[in-house]
Amino acid sequence: MKRKKEHKNKLSATTSRKQSHVELVVSEQVSHRSVASGFDDIRLIHNALPEIALTEVDTSINFLGKHLDVPILISSMTGGYTDAERINGALAILSAKYGAAMGLGSQRQAMESKLFHNSFKIARKENPTGLIFSNIGAVEVARLNSKGKIGKIKMLIDLIEADALIVHLNPLQELLQPEGEPDFRGVINGIEKCVQSLGVPIIAKEVGAGISKEAAKKLIEIGVRVIDVAGAGGTSWAGVEILRQKKKERRKLEPFWDWGNPTVDALLQVRELKKNMTFGLIASGGIRNGIDIAKSIALGADLAGIAKPLISTFMNEGEKELDRIMEELIIQLRYSMFLTGSQNLPALAKQPLQRI
């Protein structure tokens, strides 16, 4: 009886955490404050002689074996509670309509119970052939591996027929989260086991504090196929977790609100590894318009990921406005390509950038 009650409490802890994350992100100011993504400090060089027509600009890319119409990732956000089904459904429809990739939010809850499996499954239902990623936290990966149970993650991948598994690295968030587990021992071994045994490519991402060159190198050496730098300058997960803390705890943690490597710095660092290593690169953390996406591609990224603007718009303004955001992003990207004389993404990737 006692064990059953404990299990129920644990269930509701993960479920209500995912719900409170969305509520806070949508209703509070949770961006980094004094640290910027860095996109406003660099400029694509204007080409007064582009020698291409806007109509022939091609934004498509092949990524992890699938075709995307745009180099955009709807970044991992949610799942595992009642309303998450509606949110993931809308985001999956968006990804299918515009040919973008989509990451599901952490699927830890789906390992604890089947209750909200539909909140994840809906993504594959609404986007049957698109590029969709599973998601699990690094601490969970280490824990499962230490018990010889990494195979349990296979169920999460199968649930949505995922094309890849994202492992999120979130030491800052674990540190500041009221129920966090700041113990990263065994994470590298756990991710290596995922690479060897799960049968899908592994993507490693941060959640807004950035991945350094050294960390990325370790990850690629153990077989991680894609690095999503998820840098600082957008949503601050330190900020979100500080707001979830009791008032008397907040003052102590407040200085960490802006901790992290800004997105552009992280991209500049990690792309250096491309000289000697083969891997996919995703830019995320504070991508706010299509020019940021174009700059990301010119900085070596294959895709650019966006989280908060999409969920805030959906929750505050509804599904139609999601279309508006996506259309604006794509038009801004296409115009940036035209204005730099880049007919396609490989041409954009070769464009020089200037520090302002």
Binding mask 42-81 for ligand FMN (x = CB under 6 A): ---------------------------------xxxx---
- Contact between 135 and ligand FMN by CB under 6 A: the answer reads yes
Contact by Cβ (8 Å): 258, 33: yes
Length of the chain: 356
- Contact between 306 and ligand FMN by CB under 6 A: the answer reads yes
With left for phi above 0 and alpha for psi between -120 and 50, is residue 42 left, alpha or beta? beta
Name the minimum Å distance from CB 240 to ligand FMN: 8
80: tokens are: 């595992």
Name the minimum Å distance from CB 355 to ligand FMN: 22
Q: Which residue is nearest to ligand FMN (CB)?
A: 234
- Contact between 283 and ligand FMN by CB under 6 A: the answer reads no
Interacting positions 208-237 with ligand FMN (CB under 6 A)? 208, 230, 234-235
d(CA 356, CA 53) in angstroms, rounded, equals 28
Q: Within 30-83, where are the H helices? A: none
Closest CA to 205 of 123, 300, 141, 135: 135
Find the binder of ligand FMN among 168, 193, 271, 334 (CB under 6 A). 168
Nearer to ligand FMN, 99 or 286 (CB): 286
Name the minimum Å distance from CB 73 to ligand FMN: 9
* Paired sense of beta strands 353-355 and 42-44, if any: antiparallel
Name the minimum Å distance from CB 276 to ligand FMN: 27
**What is the amino acid identity at position 80?**
G
Closest CA to 272 of 304, 300, 295: 300
Provide the binding-site residues for ligand FMN, judged by CB under 6 A.
21-22, 25, 75-78, 105-106, 135, 166, 168, 205, 207-208, 230, 234-235, 284-287, 306-308, 311
